[in-house]
Homo-oligomer: A and B are copies of this chain.
Amino acid sequence: MLREPVTSIVDANSGGMSGNTGRYEKRLSDLSGLYENAAAHAQLTQKLGDPVVYAVEDFRPGDHAGDLIYGITRMSPGRIGDEFFLTRGHIHAKADRPEIYYGQKGKGLMQLESPEGETRIVEIGPQSICYVPPYWIHRSINVGDEDLVMLFAYPSDSGQDYGIIEASNGMRHRVKTDGNGGWILVENRDYRPRSSDTVAALMKRYA
């Protein structure tokens, strides 16, 4: 069946988008287990009344192969100890599917990790696109003082695997404040590298 064209008007300020088929939110409590300072996370969650940390509005035509999902995400600024508000992070269930992000507002980072544990950081702001290649775990981080708003697009049959980060006790590096308005990378002491079997299983090419 032929589908109708869609127009989405982007509100880069509020992080909204018309024409979307869905919307979801993540609250501060949904980020439990991600931060080194778990006590600070619990305290801030209670103190702030478990606020929404990020919201996503997307257009999903379906999950068949060959189509595209696109949407917009807005993430609040904030810190837990010396770490920033961030997304849980994921690799695509079909790990060879890429993703594109396009900054609209604010100052963010894309933290990427290869199956073998290499880290890459891409800075994202207005007018910058980040292409996340196939096979990279990725997470976005708001390192600024205002909302981080980004558009994204990815193949509709990508799927998300959030368990990969849990299985390695987090990503290999933590992004922390440098105490001077910037950020630094610090080794995550709890990180468990993936076995070569796990890596080989991830590096599959899907149809």
Q: Which residues of A contact B (CB under 8 A)?
A: 2-12, 17, 19, 59, 61, 64-68, 70, 94, 96-100, 102, 110, 112, 114, 120, 122-123, 127-136, 151, 153-155, 157, 205-207
Do A66 and B6 touch (CB < 8 A)? no
A9 cross-chain contacts in B, Cβ below 8 A:
127-129
How many whole Å from A181's CB to the nearest CB in chain B? Answer: 21
**Alpha-carbon separation in the docked complex, A41 to B97 (Å):** 43
CB distance B131 to A59 under 8 Å? yes
19 pairs, CB–CB < 8 Å, chain A vs chain B = A2-B136, A3-B134, A5-B122, A6-B129, A6-B130, A7-B123, A7-B129, A9-B128, A11-B127, A12-B127, A65-B206, A65-B207, A66-B155, A67-B155, A68-B98, A68-B131, A102-B102, A155-B155, A207-B207
Q: How many copies does the complex hold?
A: 2
Complex CA gap A166/B42 in Å reads 64
With A66-B97, A68-B153: A131-B19 Cβ-Cβ less than 8 Å: yes
Shortest A68–chain B CB gap in Å is 5
- CB-based contact A70/B122 at 8 Å: no
Chain B residue at minimal CB-CB distance from A131 = B6
Which residues of the partner chain B approach A61 to less than 8 Å between Cβ atoms?
A: 98, 131, 133
